[in-house]
C-alpha cells in the first residue's frame, strides 16, 4: 500500500488545488485502481467548475513547449506533458505546428480555455483534426469534453506516480 503521496504529487497529475487536496484527504490508496476511482469521483462529482478551469490553465498549449517552472509539481507536470506529446512532436512539421497554433488561438478565443486533449500516442494531424472537430461545439458541451480528456490525462499520470513510487520502494528494499 502506498503511503508517501502528498498534495503536490496529485497536483502534478491534475492542476486543480481542490482536486489535489481532496485526493490527499482520500489517500492512502491500496492500489492504482482505487486511486483512479477516487480521482474520478472527486473530479466529476466533488470539485466545482472553477476547479476545472484551474486545471485546464495548468497545461501548456498543445504543440507548445512547456512553460518554464520552478516548483516540484510544475516541473513534474511539464516533463509528463512533454512525454505525453512525444508522438505529436515526432510527427510534427513546421506547417502543421503553425496550423495547430492558429486553431489553438481560435479555440481559446471561443471557449476561454486552451484545447485539452489526452495527446498520448496521437500524431499532430490527429490532434488538429480533433480540434477542428470539437470547435463547433457549444461552450458547455466542450467544457465537459475537456474535463473528460483531463481525466484521461490524470489517470495516465496517476499510473506514472504509482510506477515511480514502486521503483523507489523496490530500490530501497534492496
Binding site for its own copies (CB under 8 A): 44-45, 47-53, 110-113, 138-140, 143-144, 147
With contact defined as beta carbons under 8 Å apart, do 128 and 96 qualify?
Answer: yes
In whole angstroms, give the CA distance from residue 152 to residue 165.
20
User: Would you say the C-alpha torsion 120, 121, 123, 126 has a positive or negative sign?
Assistant: negative
User: Catalytic: 73?
Assistant: no
Residue 54 Cβ vs its own copies, minimum distance, rounded to whole Å = 11
In whole angstroms, give the CA distance from residue 157 to residue 154.
5
Residue 44 Cβ vs its own copies, minimum distance, rounded to whole Å = 6
How distant, in Å, are the alpha carbons of 25, 36, 73, 95, 120 from that of 80?
24, 18, 10, 25, 10
Q: Which residue, 30 or 138, is less far from its own copies as judged by CB?
A: 138
Residue 52 Cβ vs its own copies, minimum distance, rounded to whole Å = 8
With contact defined as beta carbons under 8 Å apart, do 71 and 12 qualify?
Answer: no
Query: What's the grid cell of residue 170?
Result: 523496490
Q: Which residue, 45 or 170, is less far from its own copies as judged by CB?
A: 45
In whole angstroms, give the CA distance from residue 174 to residue 172.
5
Q: Which residue, 53 or 66, is less far from its own copies as judged by CB?
A: 53
Q: Which residue, 82 or 110, is less far from its own copies as judged by CB?
A: 110
Residue 111 Cβ vs its own copies, minimum distance, rounded to whole Å = 5
Active-site pick, 59, 73, 134, 157: 59
Residue positions annotated with a catalytic role: 59
Amino acid at each position: 500500500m502506498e503511503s508517501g503521496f502528498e498534495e503536490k504529487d496529485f497536483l502534478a497529475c491534475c492542476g486543480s488545488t481542490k482536486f489535489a487536496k481532496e485526493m490527499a484527504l482520500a489517500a492512502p490508496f491500496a492500489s492504482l485502481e482505487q486511486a483512479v476511482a477516487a480521482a474520478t469521483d472527486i473530479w466529476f462529482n466533488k470539485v466545482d467548475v472553477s476547479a476545472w478551469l484551474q486545471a485546464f490553465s495548468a497545461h501548456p498549449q498543445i504543440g507548445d513547449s512547456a512553460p518554464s517552472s520552478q516548483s516540484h509539481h510544475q516541473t513534474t507536470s511539464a516533463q509528463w506533458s512533454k512525454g505525453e506529446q512525444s508522438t505529436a512532436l515526432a510527427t510534427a512539421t513546421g506547417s502543421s505546428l503553425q496550423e495547430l497554433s492558429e486553431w489553438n488561438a481560435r479555440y481559446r478565443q471561443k471557449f476561454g480555455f486552451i484545447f485539452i486533449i489526452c495527446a498520448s500516442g496521437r500524431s499532430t494531424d490527429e490532434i488538429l483534426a480533433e480540434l477542428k472537430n470539437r470547435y463547433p461545439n457549444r461552450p458547455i458541451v466542450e467544457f465537459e469534453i475537456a474535463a473528460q480528456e483531463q481525466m484521461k490525462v490524470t489517470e495516465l499520470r496517476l499510473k506514472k506516480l504509482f510506477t515511480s513510487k514502486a521503483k523507489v520502494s523496490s530500490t530501497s528494499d534492496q
